[in-house]
Amino acid sequence: MLTVTTAPGIASVGIVGGSLGGLFQAVALAELGLDVTVWERSVGRPDDRGAGIVLQPSVAWFLRMFCGVDPDLISVPVTHRQFFSRDGQSHHTLMGQRMISWGAIHTSLRDRLDSARYHDGQRVTALAPRPDGVDVHVGDAVRSVDLAIIADGSASRHRGLVAPEGAPRYAGYVAYRGVIDEAGLPEELSEVFRNRFSFYDGDRTQFLCYFIPGDFGTITPGKRRMNWVWYVRADAAGLDRITTDRNGTAHGLSLPPGLIAPQVHTELLDHARTLLPKPMRQLVEYTREPFAQAILDGRVSRMRGGRTLLTGDAAFVVRPHTAASAEKAAADAITLFAALQQIPSLDGALRAWEKDRLAEGMALYKHGVGLGHRLGLGTSEATRTAAAGPAA
Ligand SMILES: Cc1cc2nc3c(=O)[nH]c(=O)nc-3n(C[C@H](O)[C@H](O)[C@H](O)COP(=O)(O)OP(=O)(O)OC[C@H]3O[C@@H](n4cnc5c(N)ncnc54)[C@H](O)[C@@H]3O)c2cc1C
Mean pLDDT value across residues 148-164: 97
Q: Calculate the dihedral angle through the C-alpha atoms of 103, 108, 112, 115, rounding to the nearest 10 degrees.
A: 20
The pLDDT value given to residue 267: 97
pLDDT tens digits along 157-191: 999 999 999 999 999 999 999 999 999 999 999 99
Question: Does 281 score more than 70 pLDDT?
Answer: yes
Question: Does 142 score more than 50 pLDDT?
Answer: yes
Asked which of 2-6, 34-38, 207-211, 216-220 is least confident by mean pLDDT, the reply is: 2-6
Asked which of 104-113, 188-197, 212-221, 337-346 is least confident by mean pLDDT, the reply is: 212-221
3-state SS of 1-29 is CCCCCCCCCCCEEEEECCCHHHHHHHHHH
Cα–Cα distance between 391 and 173 in angstroms, integer?
Answer: 17
Residue whose CB lies within 8 A of the most ligand 1 atoms, among 27, 325, 332, for a mutation test = 325
pLDDT band at 378 (very low <50, low <70, confident <90, very high): confident
Asked which of 47-56, 233-242, 298-307 is least confident by mean pLDDT, the reply is: 47-56
Cα–Cα distance between 378 and 166 in angstroms, integer?
Answer: 19
pLDDT band at 215 (very low <50, low <70, confident <90, very high): confident
Cα–Cα distance between 230 and 236 in angstroms, integer?
Answer: 18
Cα–Cα distance between 83 and 86 in angstroms, integer?
Answer: 10
Contact yes or no for 39/14 (Cβ under 8 A): yes
pLDDT band at 47 (very low <50, low <70, confident <90, very high): low
Percent of the chain exceeding pLDDT 70 equals: 93
Give, using CA atoms, the residue closest to atom 9 of ligand 1. Answer: 53
The pLDDT value given to residue 355: 98
pLDDT tens digits along 319-350: 999 999 999 999 999 999 999 999 999 999 99
Mean pLDDT value across residues 197-210: 96
The pLDDT value given to residue 230: 98
Ligand 1: distance of its center to the CA of 323 in Å? Answer: 14
- The helix (run of H) or strand (run of E) holding residue 229 is strand 225-233
Question: Does 381 score more than 90 pLDDT?
Answer: no
CATH number (3.30.1380.10, 3.50.50.60, 1.20.1260.10, 3.40.50.300) of 12-49+104-168+298-388 reads 3.50.50.60
Question: Does 384 score more than 50 pLDDT?
Answer: no
Question: Does 387 score more than 50 pLDDT?
Answer: no
pLDDT tens digits along 61-85: 999 999 999 999 999 999 999 999 9
Ligand 1: distance of its center to the CA of 19 in Å? Answer: 5
67-101+169-296 classified as CATH 3.30.9.60? yes
| Residue 110: partners with Cβ closer than 8 Å, 6 or more residues away | 18, 23, 45, 118
Ligand 1: distance of its center to the CA of 270 in Å? Answer: 31
Cα–Cα distance between 51 and 306 in angstroms, integer?
Answer: 35
The pLDDT value given to residue 383: 36
Residue whose CB lies within 8 A of the most ligand 1 atoms, among 226, 313, 357, for a mutation test = 313
The closest-lying atom of ligand 1 relative to the alpha carbon of residue 158 is: 41
Mean pLDDT value across residues 309-313: 98
Give, using CA atoms, the residue closest to atom 20 of ligand 1. Answer: 326
Give, using CA atoms, the residue closest to atom 7 of ligand 1. Answer: 53
- Backbone angles phi and psi of 78, in degrees to 5: -120, 150
| Residue 237: partners with Cβ closer than 8 Å, 6 or more residues away | none
Identify which of 172, 179, 186, 290 has the alpha carbon closest to the alpha carbon of residue 238.
Answer: 172
Residue whose CB lies within 8 A of the most ligand 1 atoms, among 39, 53, 137, 255, for a mutation test = 53
First to last CA, the chain: 34
Domain layout of the chain by residue ranges:
12-49+104-168+298-388, 67-101+169-296
pLDDT tens digits along 234-260: 999 999 999 999 999 999 999 999 999
Question: Does 31 score more than 90 pLDDT?
Answer: yes
Contact yes or no for 92/196 (Cβ under 8 A): yes
Asked which of 14-28, 47-61, 93-107, 176-190 is least confident by mean pLDDT, the reply is: 47-61
Ligand 1: distance of its center to the CA of 26 in Å? Answer: 15
The pLDDT value given to residue 361: 98
Cα–Cα distance between 84 and 76 in angstroms, integer?
Answer: 21
The pLDDT value given to residue 388: 36
Q: Across all residues in the chain, what is the average pLDDT? A: 93
Distance set, CA 155 to CA 144, 242, 315 (Å): 24, 19, 10
Mean pLDDT value across residues 212-220: 89
Residue 265: exposure state from Cβ atoms within 10 A (0-12, 13-18, ≥19):
middle
Question: Does 392 score more than 70 pLDDT?
Answer: no
The pLDDT value given to residue 252: 96
pLDDT band at 391 (very low <50, low <70, confident <90, very high): very low
Question: Does 3 score more than 80 pLDDT?
Answer: no
